[in-house]
Chain A
Amino acid sequence: MDLVALLAIQVLYAIASLALISVGLAIIFGMMRVINLAHGEFLMLGGYAAIVATSHGISIWLSMLVVAPIVVGIIGVIVERTIIRFLYGRMIDTMLATWGLSLFLVGLTTAIFGNTTVGISAPLGSFQIGDYRTSAYTLFVIAVAAAVLGTIFAVMRWTRLGLIARGTMQNANMAAALGVNPPRVYAVTFGAGAALSGLAGAVLAPVSGVFPTIGVAYVAKSFITVIGGGAAVLSGTISASALFGTINQIATFVTTPVFGEVALLAAAIVLIRLLPQGITGRFFRRGL
C-alpha cells in the first residue's frame, strides 16, 4: 500500500515535470507555430537566474517563482523583437535562427559560469510514507505544475488577454481589423511562453542541477510532449504529459530509468504513428 502511494507520487511527479518543461513550448510552438530550438536554453537560463538570485541573498522561493520567470520572460520578448518577428511563417529559417540562438546561449553561459554543474539544494526536507522516505520537494513540483496549468486555463478562458491571444493566433488579420495590434500580441505571447519555461527551469534546478548544456536534455522531451499533445495548448500538454509520464515512471519502476526513457520514446513513436495530429487532433478537440 505504501509502495503504491509512493509510486503514485512518482508518476504524478513525472507527469508534472513533463508538463512544466513543455507548457512554455506548447504556447510558443502550439499556438504561434514557432519551432523554438532554443527552448531548452530558456529552461537553462531559468535555472541560472534562480541560482544567481539565490546567491545574492534573495529567498529561494522568490528566486524560483518570481525572478526566473521575469528574467527569462524579458529575454523572450527581446528574442521575439530582434529575431523571431522577422521569421513568422518561415519555419526552416526559424529553426535555423533558434538553433543558432541555442548555441549562442550555451556558449555565453559556459563563458560566464563555466562548464560545471551548479547545484542548489532543494528546500523542504523529506517525509515518510510507511517504510519509505521521499522528498517533500516532489510534492512542491507537482503543486507548481498544477498551479501553472490552472493559471493558464484561467487566463485563456476568462481574461481579455487570453481571448485576444487565442483570436490573434487563429487569424491575425481579422484580429487587426477588430483593433488588435498583432505584433504586440505576438511579443507578449512569446514572452509568456519564455517566462513559463524560465519558471520550469528554476523549479527543476534543485532536482537536476544546472549546467550550460542541460537544455539538450529538456528540448527533445518537450517537443515530444507538445507534438504528442497536438494543437490544443492546455489539454494537449496535460494529456500527453499524463500518458508519457505514466509510461516513463512505470517502466522505470519495473526496470531501470534508462528503460523508462526508452519506453517514453517508444510510446511517442507509436502515438504519432496512430495519431499524427497528436492526442488533441482526435480527442478533447474543443479543449483549450
Chain B
Amino acid sequence: MMLDVQGLRAGYGRIPILNGVGFSVNEGEFIGVLGHNGMGKTTLLRALMGFLPASSGRVQFAGQDLTALEPYRRARLGLGYVPQGREIFPSLSAYDNLRMGCCKQPGADENETIATVLAEFPRLKTLLDRPGSALSGGEQQLLAIARCLCGKPRLVLLDEPTEGIQPSIIDEIVETLQRLRDDGGLTMILVEQNLDFIAAMSQRILVIQKGSITQEVKPDDLHNASLVGEFVGITA
C-alpha cells in the first residue's frame, strides 16, 4: 500500500473541514476524489501535503508516518503537488519553474531531467524562455504538472487541473496523464469537478461529502446521471 489515511481531521483555525477521512491508495493507482464545492477536496490535498496540520488521525506513505512532517519533507519523500490555481512562479521563466521542480534531487542533472519530462509536454518546448506569468492558463497547468514530474514524485496530488482551462488543453492533459499512467511508476490522487475528466483518469472514485468519504464508485457510474445526482449532488 502506498498511501494509507485513517481518521484524518484538519481544518482552518478552529473551523473543522475534514471530519475523519479514511482511504488508501495502492501503488500505480489513479484515484479520483469527487465532491461539491466546500466539501473539503482541496483541504484534503493540502492536509496530505502538510500545509494544514492534522488535528487527529494518521497519514502513512510507503510505510512511513507523515502526520507530523513539514511539507518540504513530504515532498522529499516522494509526494508531488499540483495545486489549484497552478501556483506558477510568476517572474521565473518557464524553464526556471521546471528547475525549481528539480530541487528535490540536488545530485541529478537538471537539464537531463527536464529534457525527459519535456518529451511528454511538447507544447511547453517553445515557451521555456517566457516568464511564468506570461503563459496562458492551460500552458501554466501543463507547466505545473511538468514541474511536479521533474521532482520524480511517487504519488502526485493533482487539484482541479481543468478549472478554467480551454478544452483543447484539457484533452492534452488527459492524454499525457493516461500515457504516464500506462507507463507505470506513477500513483495519483486527482480532485476534480469535471466528470468526463475524472472518469477518463480514475480507476476508483471516492465521493467526499461534508469532510468525509461517503462512497466509492466506478468510473462507469459517472455516466449514469441519476446516480451521480444522488451521490454527488452534481448534475452531469
Contact = CB atoms under 8 A, between A and B. Distances in A.
Nearest to B100: A167
A229 B51 CA distance: 34
Contacts of B97: 167
B131 interface: yes
Interface stretch (A132-140, A176-184, A234-242): A176-184
A176 B106 CA distance: 15
A171 interface: yes
A215 B132 CA distance: 39
A179 B89 contact: no
A170 interface: yes
Interface string B94-108: 001101110110100
B198 to A, nearest CB: 22
Residue with the greatest number of chain A CB neighbours at <10 A, chosen from B51, B83, B89, B90: B89
Contacts of A171: 87, 89
Nearest to B148: A178
B41 interface: no
A281 to B, nearest CB: 13
A115 interface: no
Given A167-B100, A173-B51, A178 B151 contact: yes
Interface string A163-192: 110110011011111111110000000000
B131 A178 contact: no
A164 B100 CA distance: 7
A170 B75 contact: no
A167 B89 contact: yes
Summarize A's interface: helix, strand, loop or mixed.
helix
Interface range for A: 10 to 19
Interface string B73-86: 00110001101000
A198 to B, nearest CB: 28
A166 B70 CA distance: 21
Contacts of B75: 176-179
B71 interface: yes
A50 to B, nearest CB: 35
Given A173-B51, A173-B71, 11 more contacts: A163-B100, A167-B89, A170-B92, A173-B87, A174-B83, A176-B75, A177-B83, A179-B72, A179-B104, A180-B100, A181-B72
Interface of B: 49, 51, 70-72, 75-76, 80-81, 83, 87, 89-92, 96-97, 99-101, 103-104, 106, 110, 131, 147-148, 151
27 contacts: A160-B103, A160-B106, A160-B110, A163-B92, A163-B99, A163-B100, A166-B91, A167-B92, A167-B96, A167-B100, A170-B91, A171-B89, A173-B71, A174-B87, A174-B89, A175-B103, A176-B71, A176-B75, A177-B75, A178-B104, A179-B72, A179-B75, A179-B104, A179-B151, A180-B103, A286-B91, A286-B131
- 4 A-B pairs closest in CB distance: A179-B104, A179-B75, A177-B81, A176-B71
